[in-house]
């Protein structure tokens, strides 16, 4: 079985539901709250594992009660956890999400995710060399992401880079990955020009996810639009992570790029039809492919 290694963030997501967002200085009661596993890295790992891939999660957690919760969640999804490092100096990462019917605010505490540094990345070299594909996002230090991309490039290991949350990137690292999968906002932060031009400059490499509009890439001759799969939208949380996880699985299954993107659209559509992120991602046996 092909092996996927995800090197990235793991968080506790605390979700708070209110009628309207509080203004500065206002105290407000909430109707309910939930504590769920999250982080882009962990979300993508869970998606790929549910779709049948052999997945290893690498990253850092604090030595607190949330560490146990996240490790158990990973193991329940049959994800290898032995390379995850416990960090005494800090807490497990957390995202506090306050949601109303019309808007939301998110406060992110990186915590142990900030300790995914170059020395930790160096400890993963054997794991990476045994992998068929590595997945990366930008919720860990950027210089670590660059270090891993360089190592994978030197050793011909496939890489999917999801440049989220959006921030500027050195373009030479785009050239070194197999696929770069930004949304339109993230693409603009990197390139500062129309997506049509960017996709044409990086044929078969950059896939722009576009939510309800599906996804776009350039095949070297023309712009290809893979339309979104119709779905009843319940919760868009985790849709992008589902897209990336599915792209990894489809890539290793030998699908063409267009087939892989269409498959990723299908998985994203399934995910937004249910509440939550990881819990909404489908098991492979629930899909009609």
pLDDT tens readout for residues 26-79: 998 887 888 999 999 999 999 999 999 999 999 999 999 999 999 999 999 999
| Residue 214 among known ligand-binding residues | yes
Q: Are 4 and 56 in contact (CB under 8 A)?
A: yes
| Residue 211 among known ligand-binding residues | yes
User: Domain 3-21+33-282 adopts which CATH fold?
Assistant: 3.40.1190
Q: Give residue 179's pLDDT.
A: 98
Number of H helices, E strands in the chain: 10, 14
3-state secondary structure of 117: coil
Placement of tokens 């960090």 in the chain: 87
Residues annotated as catalytic are 241
| Residue 94 among known ligand-binding residues | no
Q: What angle do CA 102, 106, 108 make, to 5 degrees?
A: 170
Q: Which residue ranges of the chain lie beneath pLDDT 70?
A: 276, 286-289
């Amino acid at each position: 079985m092909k092996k996927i290694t995800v090197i990235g963030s793991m968080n506790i997501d605390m979700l708070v539901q209110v009628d309207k967002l509080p203004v500065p200085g206002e105290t407000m009661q909430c109707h309910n709250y939930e504590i769920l596993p999250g982080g882009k890295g962990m979300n993508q790992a869970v998606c790929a594992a549910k779709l049948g891939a052999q997945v290893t999660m690498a990253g850092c957690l604090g030595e607190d009660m949330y560490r146990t919760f996240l490790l158990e969640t990973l193991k329940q999804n049959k994800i290898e956890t032995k390379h995850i490092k416990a960090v005494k100096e800090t807490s497990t990462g957390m995202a506090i999400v306050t949601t109303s019917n019309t808007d939301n605010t998110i406060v992110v505490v990186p915590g142990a995710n900030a300790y995914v540094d170059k020395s930790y990345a160096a400890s993963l070299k054997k794991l990476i060399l045994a992998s068929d594909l590595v997945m990366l996002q930008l919720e860990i230090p950027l210089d670590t992401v660059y270090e891993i991309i360089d190592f994978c490039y030197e050793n011909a290991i496939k890489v999917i880079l999801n440049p989220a949350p959006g921030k500027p990137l050195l373009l030479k690292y785009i050239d070194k990955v197999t696929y770069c999968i930004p949304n339109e906002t993230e693409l603009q932060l990197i390139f500062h020009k129309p997506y049509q031009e960017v996709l044409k400059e990086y044929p078969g490499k950059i896939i722009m996810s576009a939510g309800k509009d599906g996804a776009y890439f350039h095949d070297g001759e023309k712009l290809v639009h893979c339309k979104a799969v119709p779905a009843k939208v319940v919760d868009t949380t985790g849709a992008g992570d589902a897209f990336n996880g599915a792209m990894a699985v489809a890539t290793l299954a030998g699908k063409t790029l267009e087939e892989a993107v269409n498959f990723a659209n299908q998985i994203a559509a399934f995910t937004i039809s249910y509440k939550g992120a990881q819990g909404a991602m489908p098991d492979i046996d629930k899909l009609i492919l």
